[in-house]
Structure 1
Amino acid sequence: MLTVKDLHKSYQVGKTTYEVLKGVSLTVEKGEFVAVMGPSGSGKTTLLNCISCYIPIDSGEITLGEKQLADLSEDALAKVRNRQLGFVFQDFLLLDGLTVRENILLPAIIGGTVTSQTEARADQLCDVFGITAIRDKYPAEISGGEKQRCAVARALINHPLLILADEPTGNLDSKSSRAVIRSFEQAKASLEATIFMVTHDSFAASFCDRVVILRDGGVWRTLEKGSTDRAAFQDALLDAIRDMGKE
């Protein structure tokens, strides 16, 4: 589904070059829920921005499905972002003047692909994520957890190959965070969604199938959940973070 191979990215500030990603390689298989963790400055957000092609890479390969993203024109990349990538942000980014249902339909509206099937899809997503009762309300009238579930539904409206989530629980309390993670689990189970999430939250990451830990611009360790229960997996993540601190 997603393959990142030997990815390098640096920034130039004056005469100084800062290398942020130093040969990152990873894969995300269809139907997986994968998290990326790491300390500030480890390259998590830069990695996400490279995968979404919002910033150019220095070298390496990013393959989504069968497409080499670095080889695409800007117009082709815009189509990939609209049709094959779904985005969930920390700050929701809902439009205040649109209802919940209209916000969910927004990628299809922008792409000019709204049909009766698309509208039925929006209603299905509202049902899957338990927001049918608020679908005619506006963002100012709903809670943070409801806003983020709306954002997850919006990310899925165009049947994307991959959902990219950037700190989706960062601005939420524990109850709302759990509701958002549950919505990702529902998206994976009911809609076969593939999710790649950047997070600093070990609780959120403990629901994932696999967690990639970055340090100093590279993959430091990868932990697989396997048959481990959620609480034990969270303990393993915290142990890994402590080990990183010792090193």
Structure 2
Amino acid sequence: MALEKMDIYYNSVAETYDERVRRATTDEDGYIVRMVSAFPMKENLNIVDIGAGTGLQLKPLLEQSETLRATCVDCSGKMLARLKKNLADYSGRVQAVAANFFDHDFGFEFYDGAVAAMALHYYSEAQKLQLYKNLRAGLKKDGFFLLTDKFAPTQNYQDFCRSEFERKRAEAHQPEGHYYTFTPLTVANEAALLFKAGFAEVQVRWAKSNTAVLLATK
């Protein structure tokens, strides 16, 4: 069975996505609730949301600050269409960019910070390392990256998920690319990648089960 490309998958679930993750915005240990509580809010922040989806994780941040501005990058045009509806009240402070965030130009010391919520557990270490290097270059001095995601509980589990993905890709004779799959890293390996990309500090701000919030500082 062929693996599904990332944009195709998310275009197919865009209409029902909000209901699937709604609890994350209200439950005490919902990942969006925890991400928002760990966000280093200041006045006049200009951030980039990597894999912004329908904007549910960004909305509470925009509600907290009238000066926050955000560039929302996502490969799914249909998800971004939902984002524009969800964030219509903040349209003057939100820019939606339909693009593969691996190809997005983060500029040089342009953003104060970045967030990514449940967007990066599909990618290899090599893919993420290059993304993190590009992102770091686009952050201002003392800029931050708040990463909320699912993580592998052990190295063995990480290796198993990766090997299963490679097996399925080989059986389907599919080229390298960005597919909807589950290949999480351990928290330690994720932090090591961020350090390797040049971030000066990485903190685990919250963790429960296989979900964690990491704060990396340039």
Q: TM-score, normalised by structure 2?
A: 0.36
TM-score by length of 1: 0.33
Q: Which has the higher contact order (CA 8 A, sep 6+)?
A: 1
Is the radius of gyration larger for structure 1 or structure 2?
1
